[in-house]
Structure 1
Amino acid sequence: MSTLQAIRTFLFYLLLGTSALLWCSLSFFIAPFLSFPARYRFINVYWCRFALLLTRVMLDIKVEVTGAENIPERRCVIVSNHQSTWETFFLSAYFQPLSQVLKRELLYVPFFGWAMAMLRPIAIDRDNPKGALKQVASKGDQLLKDNVWVLIFPEGTRVPFGQIGKFTRSGSALAVNAELPVLPIAHNAGKYWPKEGWAKRSGTIQVVIGAPMYAEGTGPRAIAELNDRVAAWNEQTQRELGSLPPKPVADDQIAS
């Protein structure tokens, strides 16, 4: 990373951190008196848009969205790959109101955590996987009934650019049980905002929104089949974006 880029990155994080502290502190005193949609916009949308503006101005990282016409009118389960912090900013501002899964410990952070707690997150205990799955299922179902988008990162954690993690079935299970579709999303944010380190690369992040995917039936088999389709779509779309290497050609295909 060049000296100029290092300075710009330092200033970016300084402004980002300062703005988060000030905005969360302000939200703590104002947001409780707002309705949930207004509270979400005040706490999350406005600050996330500011974070994205900083990203564009300070780091020269832009975004290009394909497939916005696929977004259904009825809010449903969003399933996306997870490579960086950037997509949490972007998706939180693009879809509103939105709830996502986060570590319960984050809610205890002064001001930041208190502000997040007002956004109806699905706060889980990662040391209790079975309990976490039940919480995602029960609270996620209630949020969907209240017409709130539910964002699931099925890989469970950020995965380095050029790799893809195993897709858990939590998002598909939530959608099947609620009789709603999965809205699949793929992106290449990790190319410009890597999982590790502070270094950033200028460029244009590509976000692809796929057509809603519906389960064919109910029960565990339908959940597994839907999850397989969502994972296959994400993998193929990431290959098309250049996030993953081309799929190897089988020997029998070469011979033919």
Structure 2
Amino acid sequence: MSTVQAIRIFLFYLLLSTSALLWCSLSFFIAPFLSFKARYHFINVNWCRFAVWLTAVMLGIRYEVSGAENVPKQPCVILSKHQSTWETFFLSCYFEPLSQVLKRELLFLPFFGWAMAMLKPIAIDRDNPKAALKQLAKQGHERLEAGIWVLIFPEGTRVPAGQIAKFSRGGAALAVNANLPVLPIAHNAGEFWPKQGWGKRSGTIRVVIGPPMYAEGTGPRAIVELNDRAYAWVEQAQRDIGALPASAPASEAAAPF
């Protein structure tokens, strides 16, 4: 990494963290008086758009989206590949309002976590998988009925670029029980914003939105089939954009939800 690039990355994180502190602090005084949709737009959409813009300006990481015509009008369950922090920013402002499945510990972070708590996330305890599945089923269904997108990273955690992990069935189960589709999303953000370390590489992230996928029937078999179909689509899409080698094996899933 060159000295210039290291300085740009340092300034990027400085500006990103400072903006988060200021924006989250401001949100405490304004957001509680807004409706949920207005609150979501004020807190999450505005700041996440800034984060994506800052990433492009400071680090030269831009993006292009294909498959935007596949996005249904009615909110559903989003099953996205997870490689970095970038897609969290991007998806949070591309789909609104959106409820994200996340570790409940994140809500305890000063300022950022407190603001996140006002956005109706599904904050699960990863140390208690059974309770997490029940919580996802209950709160996820409530969010969908309220017209809120539900974002799930079915691999359970960020998976390094060039790899793919098995999909947990929680998202597919949620979609089947709500009689709604899953919307698969593939991307190669990890090639430019790696899972580990501070290093970043300029380039264009390719985001591919797949067709909405409905279950063929109901019950456990329909859930398994839908989950396998979504996984197969994401895996093939990752290969098509060059983000997954032809012989890349699937790694183990990080969590059963």
Q: Shorter-chain TM-score: what band?
A: over 0.9
* TM-score, structure 1 as length reference: 0.96
* TM-score, structure 2 as length reference: 0.95
Higher mean displacement: 185-194 or 238-247: 238-247
Partner of 1:158: 158
Partner of 1:167: 167
Letter in 2 for 1:225: E
Map Cα deviations across residues 64-93 of structure 1 (whole Å, 9 max, x no partner): 000000000111000001000000000000
C-alpha distance in structure 1 between counterparts of 2:108 and 2:28, whole Å = 13
C-alpha distance in structure 2 between counterparts of 1:27 and 1:83, whole Å = 28
Letter in 2 for 1:193: W
Partner of 2:208: 208
**Structure 2: 5+ residue runs without aligned partners?**
249-257
In the alignment, does 2:73 pair up with 1:70?
A: no
Partner of 2:255: none
Partner of 1:97: 97
Partner of 1:222: 222
User: Counterpart of 1:205 in 2: which secondary structure?
Assistant: strand
Task: Give identity over the alignment, percent.
Answer: 77
Letter in 1 for 2:3: T
C-alpha distance in structure 1 between counterparts of 2:104 and 2:5, whole Å = 34
In the alignment, does 2:110 pair up with 1:131?
A: no
Map Cα deviations across residues 169-200 of structure 1 (whole Å, 9 max, x no partner): 01100000000000110000000000000000
Map Cα deviations across residues 93-142 of structure 1 (whole Å, 9 max, x no partner): 00000000111111122221111011000001111011011101100000
User: Counterpart of 2:51 in 1: which secondary structure?
Assistant: helix
Partner of 1:83: 83
User: Counterpart of 2:165 in 1: which secondary structure?
Assistant: coil
Aligned-pair CA distance for 1:167:
0.4
Partner of 1:254: none
Letter in 1 for 2:227: N
Number of paired residues?
Answer: 248
Aligned-pair CA distance for 1:247:
4.4
C-alpha distance in structure 1 between counterparts of 2:162 and 2:196, whole Å = 13
Letter in 2 for 1:197: G
Partner of 2:120: 120
Map Cα deviations across residues 194-234 of structure 1 (whole Å, 9 max, x no partner): 00000000000000000100000000000000000000000
Partner of 1:236: 236
Partner of 1:146: 146
User: Counterpart of 2:164 in 1: which secondary structure?
Assistant: coil
Runs of 4+ more than 3 Å apart:
none
In the alignment, does 2:8 pair up with 1:40?
A: no
Partner of 1:252: none
User: Counterpart of 1:118 in 2: which secondary structure?
Assistant: helix
C-alpha distance in structure 1 between counterparts of 2:105 and 2:152, whole Å = 18
User: Counterpart of 1:62 in 2: which secondary structure?
Assistant: strand
Structure of greater Rg: 1
Partner of 1:251: none
